[in-house]
A = this chain, B = another copy of it.
Amino acid sequence: MPHTYQYARAALTVDGVVFGLDAGELKILLIQRALEPFKGKWALPGGFVHVEETLDAAARRELAEETGLADVFLEQLYTFGAVKRDPRERVVSVAYYALVKLSDHAAKAATDAAKAEWFPVSRLPQLAFDHADIVALALTRLQGKVRYQPIGFELLPPKFTLSDLQHLYEVILGTELDKRNFRKKVLGFGLLVPLNETQMSGRHRPAQLFRFDADKYEKLKKRGFNFEL
């Protein structure tokens, strides 16, 4: 195939910011690098894009290879192209963010990574490359996005209480929300299906469990529905 651009080319990578909710804390999945540069440092899971795969496919493949995660909510975030972001040579990275239910997934380290571990967003270790910038942008995107798209449910188990849901929003937005207003708004969308189950928690009275009605949301969205919190 004729090459159209004859000069030096950047290498292209994908990196993924994987968010999970664990014991009420928002966490990110990091990999301890087994190789130089930044050997021993924590970094986002990621790697080189193959010439015959899409960017999304590369992001999913790297996540699976390095952490064992599959079938997760994944969206492109931003492409990072500072000239010296990799000490080896010019590497442009297409960053993604993913949301996983920690109940479903136990992340495990795989072949090319030494170790995979969840860290609270509020207490991250020093990160390799420009990965701290990527994490910061992913967090901003998540905070913006949960307000107008019900992606928060990707982080919750299939059955949850209204307190679980409110706590999720509080953790992501980093702010307390008024309980009465939150419940009124969230129930007003008609997207939460009450289940015939309750959950006990400490000395509180049993709390109603709900599930998110994804099918209904998809239908409403096609008609121009706007989920705004």
Query: Contact residues of A with B, CB < 8 Å?
Result: 1-5, 7-12, 48-56, 76, 78-79, 81-83, 86, 88-92, 94
Would you give the shortest CB distance from A163 to chain B, in whole angstroms? Answer: 26
Q: Smallest CB–CB gap between A17 and chain B, Å?
A: 16
Task: Give Cα distance in the complex from A12 to B12, angstroms.
Answer: 9
4 tightest A-B contacts by CB? A55-B81, A8-B51, A5-B11, A4-B88
* Minimum Cβ distance to chain B for residue A188 (Å): 19
A47 CB to nearest chain B CB (Å): 9
A54 touches B82 (CB 8 A): yes
Give the interface SS of chain A, mostly helix, strand, loop or mixed. Answer: loop
Known: A79-B55, A79-B76, A79-B79. A89 touches B1 (CB 8 A): yes
Could you tell me the distance in whole angstroms from the C-beta of A2 to the nearest C-beta in chain B? 6
Q: Is the CB of A4 within 8 A of B91?
A: yes
Q: Which of B51, B56, B90 interacts with A7 by CB under 8 Å?
A: B51
Q: List 24 A-B contacts (CB under 8 A).
A: A2-B89, A3-B88, A3-B89, A4-B89, A5-B48, A7-B48, A9-B51, A10-B12, A10-B51, A12-B92, A49-B81, A49-B92, A51-B90, A53-B83, A54-B81, A54-B83, A55-B79, A55-B81, A55-B92, A76-B78, A79-B79, A79-B94, A81-B94, A92-B94
Minimum distance in angstroms from A37 CB to a CB of chain B: 9
* A89 to B56 alpha-carbon distance, docked (Å): 18
